[in-house]
Structure 1
Amino acid sequence: MGWLKPLGKYFVNEQTEDYSRIKLLFLQAGFNNEDLIPVYWGLKCFLALLLPVIFFLLRVTVFKIVQPNLIMLICVILAMAGFYLPDLLLKLKISRRKDKIARGIPDALDILVVCVEAGMGLDAAMNRVADEIRLTNKPLSDELRLYNLELRAGKSRPDALRNLGLRIDIEDIKNFATLLIQTDKFGTSIAQALRTYSDTFRTKRYMRAEEIAAKLPVKLVVPLILFIFPSLLVTLMGPAAIRIFHALIKK
């Protein structure tokens, strides 16, 4: 895949907003290597050329298509599909990573509260949480480790927390980062703030679960009507319908 990098460099300009947007998407997907961005652009261009070429070569022997206008239309559609396919895969990767991180937030928050209430500093507690959840939630552990690495590199805690929220891009993490920034700014108790946030977060989780449970019966209506009820109708009425049919034939 290294040959894609020179191809992608023709389309990469580090000064544009599009480059910053894609860089942020890569961070949210868990890729911290900026060298992958030219490879990403190279892959988009390569697929945009490859799919139409494959179809064009096989248009007669496999697809049995000879109309020029239809061939041109399909080539354009395949070129667009090939160009946007990496975007779709990247967003799918981000979505799966967010889901996994979201599932690990409650446990990580509980461990963090325990560590801070036991007397550990916030940064040391975050590092301890990263170690504890390493096996169960590697993406969240990696983000917490990166937060600590930024602090060691000289970045201020508010900036490191903001970057944490941007990389993960989950509302709960952004609220968590804002809480710690405000706590650090005004000098209030971190342990008390974390305990309050943990209780609030747990209440929100219960409310979300209740909301999902309340929506479930409505979502089940269509599958019941289309699949379950017809099967029950056939099972219950089938034997009677067969008997009626035979009775009518005998008459």
Structure 2
Amino acid sequence: MTLPPLVFAGLVFALVVTLSYALLVRWLPDAGQQRLSRLSTPAPASDQPTPSFWQSLQQRLVAALLWLSPWTAGMSGGDGETPSALRVRFWNAGWRSPVALQIYFTSKTLLTLLLPAVAWGLVEMSGWRWPGLQRFAPVLAGAAMGYYLPDWVLSLRVRRRQLALMHAFPDALDLLRVCVQAGLGLDAAIERVGREMRLARPELSDEFALTGMALRAGASRAEALRHLSVRIGLKDIDALVSMLIQADRFGTSVSESLQVHADALRTQRRLRAEEAAAKLPVKLLIPLIFCVFPSLLTVLLGPVAVTLARQFIKVGGT
């Protein structure tokens, strides 16, 4: 005996709501209890903030994935001198933890195995009978979704971070030029700009801080700048790094080079904005044709069509 689809959907909805409510009641502390605990507990000596519920949940999830992934330690590829392309992608996304690749491969494996099982279970519980090999279509769709979902999340993170860095670099170059003209060396200027942009542009501040640490650790300026270019992964930054290396090698003015490059970056940013604005009418064409115009015509011509239909019915009846 199979349940009707509507009844099955209602049961699944009730089960999900009940489990979600139970988990929230179990894990989310009461607001009054939180206030009482803060008042009764002495303040810690350190300035580290207390992690929130979602941060603690994320930490538990990461710990569980690491516990399940002892065999992924050697899947990163590359070595200490030549990192793999995937590790470079993680650097572009801002994920520099040594265990990031293990978490990535473990989550990819678990999702590829779990999502097909969930899809198969839902199909069997719903009572639907797919003819022939079509019954395996949800399983294959779940496997493909589980396999490519971590890649999609990684690509989305890389795009967002590179866009933020692209918008932040012209202002950073102006600050670098001001610091260099004030008498600071390029190494000290990079560290100073990184500290000044901590609140406004944290992504760029982190990259400059890493570059400053590499310079203090004894790396050459060219090597530290090349690592900066690899971690960011933008062509504009590659051009900037090449320009700074050439200026350092041939003894040209760094401040003038920074000013020219900052103006070029602003020009490119303005051209990209104009290009996006020019593409907007073309992108709006399909929604206008298939969504806005039918609704507008229905509102305008609907009453007229109803009136004409009534008149024709009256004429036909007589």
- With the length of structure 1 as denominator, give the TM-score of the two structures: 0.86
Q: Secondary structure, in 3 states, of the residue corresponding to 2:84?
A: helix
The count of corresponding residues between Structure 1 and Structure 2 is 251
Partner of 1:154: 218
Partner of 2:175: 111
1:1-251 counterparts in 2 under 5 A? 1-9=65-73, 11-14=75-78, 20-62=84-126, 64-65=128-129, 69-251=133-315
1:60 touches 1:66 (CA, 8 Å); kept in 2? Answer: no
Across the aligned residues of Structure 1 and Structure 2, the Cα RMSD in angstroms comes to: 2.7
Q: Residues 80 and 197 from structure 1, CA distance in 2 versus in 1: closer, same or farther, beyond 3 angstroms?
A: same
Report % sequence identity: 42
Deviation at 1:99, TM superposition (A): 1.7
Q: Deviations over 1:216-245 (max 9, x none)?
A: 222222222223333333343344444433
- Which consecutive residues of structure 1, in runs of 5 or more, have no partner in the other structure? none
Cα distance in structure 2, aligned partners of 1:123 and 1:10: 36
Deviation at 1:31, TM superposition (A): 1.4
Q: Secondary structure, in 3 states, of the residue corresponding to 2:231?
A: helix
Cα distance in structure 2, aligned partners of 1:236 and 1:79: 47
Which of 1 and 2 has greater Rg? 2
Q: Secondary structure, in 3 states, of the residue corresponding to 1:116?
A: helix
Q: Which amino acid aligns with 1:200?
A: A
Deviation at 1:78, TM superposition (A): 2.7
Q: Residues 62 and 234 from structure 1, CA distance in 2 versus in 1: closer, same or farther, beyond 3 angstroms?
A: closer
Q: Which amino acid aligns with 2:149?
A: L
2:66 touches 2:102 (CA, 8 Å); kept in 1? Answer: no
Q: Deviations over 1:72-106 (max 9, x none)?
A: 45434433432332222111111121122222222
